[in-house]
Structure 1
Amino acid sequence: MSQSTYDQLIHSNVGLNQGVLRDVLIPSILGEETSGILYWAGKDLAHQFPVSNEDQLVTLFNQLGFGTLTKQKSSAKQQTWQLGGPIVEQRLKFDHVDFNLEAGFIAQQLELQTNATTEAQVVEQKKNAVQILVQSDLKDPSLDTEPIKFLQVETQSDEGAE
């Protein structure tokens, strides 16, 4: 790790621990396969944290430290999401930053919710946000046959209730 990478991470919202793992160690280990493996890891992670609707997906994204997720456009077959916030802005300052973990996570969550085969891809990285395009094939049902037990995601208003 270079001094400039260390300085960026230690003074960022990402944090040294998460930043080193996500943007230094994993790419170092996986090399050219990083994007593909992170995409499928995101899909697998979504299986472990399934949520029943898009509002819970947005909340969970924030809780996982992925950033602030906002739906920009939506049709029956296609959605455009924006991933932003301080963590994303900080990560975008690095060379070769990858958001395929997040894209895979979104794709799998929406596939679990709709039961339609769904894929996602990062289509644009701006200075402060990332655009993710999600496409679902409503005529192609998901191959997941296991029953899904969705999480009950806590929201800010839930945290104070007992």
Structure 2
Amino acid sequence: MLNTPSPTISSFGYEIIRDHILSSILGKHENDVLYWAGKELARKFPCKSQEEIIAFFADACWGTLELTKESKDGRIFHLTNEPALLQLKNRSFRLEAGFIAEQIQQAKGYLTECYDEKREKQQLVMFTVKWDVKERIMNTIPSE
């Protein structure tokens, strides 16, 4: 049996779809649609732990996700990626934000939102996650 290299996903091909085709199709609704698409992806690919969320980001070639702060009602993550991707003015990170929000919502069992902020000088995206302990989500079994 020959050792053939496994196929890799071209970052150029991914960028064409993500940064040009989707933004052209979705127009002014891009951020909203990407956020809800991220939530849907999280439901299709549930992660049982924070480590699995971090691993998913690596596997999906979304970059390196790191938890930097945690409080009783929130978390802050930093995402690092290729500097060129972070410098793209039109690059939205709402897909990733929606994915994180839904994963943590399922884990905590509370209504959860995630906000993204590009920090070009630091070459990262900061995701601020907040959950509302007064808003229990029905049909969830918290794992955290």
Q: TM-score, normalised by structure 2?
A: 0.85
Label 1:99 to 1:74 Cα distance change in 2 as closer, same or farther (>3 A): same
Deviations 1:21-63 (A, max 9, x none): 0000000000110001000000000000001110111011110
Q: Could you tell me which residue of structure 2 aligns to residue 35 of structure 1?
A: 31
Label 1:38 to 1:32 Cα distance change in 2 as closer, same or farther (>3 A): same
Q: By how many angstroms is 1:93 displaced? A: 2.4
CA distance in 1, matches of 2:17, 2:117: 24
- Whether the aligned pair in 1 keeps the contact of 2:100 and 2:114 (CA below 8 Å) is yes
Q: Could you tell me which residue of structure 2 aligns to residue 80 of structure 1?
A: 76
Out of 104, 114, 117, the position equivalent to 2:111 is 117
Q: Could you tell me which residue of structure 2 aligns to residue 130 of structure 1?
A: 125
Per residue, is there more strand in 1 or in 2? 2
SS of equivalent residue, structure 2 residue 47: coil
One-letter code of the match for 1:93? Q
Q: By how many angstroms is 1:109 displaced? A: 0.4
- The aligned runs of 1:10-25 (5 Å cut-off) are 15-25=11-21
Label 1:77 to 1:38 Cα distance change in 2 as closer, same or farther (>3 A): same
- Whether the aligned pair in 2 keeps the contact of 1:14 and 1:90 (CA below 8 Å) is no
CA distance in 2, matches of 1:44, 1:98: 17
Q: By how many angstroms is 1:14 displaced? A: 6.5
Where structure 1 has 5 or more consecutive residues not aligned to the other structure, the ranges are 1-12, 149-162
CA distance in 1, matches of 2:107, 2:140: 13
Q: By how many angstroms is 1:141 displaced? A: 1.1
Q: Could you tell me which residue of structure 2 aligns to residue 100 of structure 1?
A: 94
- Whether the aligned pair in 2 keeps the contact of 1:52 and 1:113 (CA below 8 Å) is yes
User: How many residue pairs were aligned?
Assistant: 133
Q: Could you tell me which residue of structure 2 aligns to residue 47 of structure 1?
A: 43
CA distance in 2, matches of 1:76, 1:23: 35
- Whether the aligned pair in 1 keeps the contact of 2:85 and 2:91 (CA below 8 Å) is yes
Q: By how many angstroms is 1:140 displaced? A: 1.0
RMSD value over aligned CA atoms? 1.9
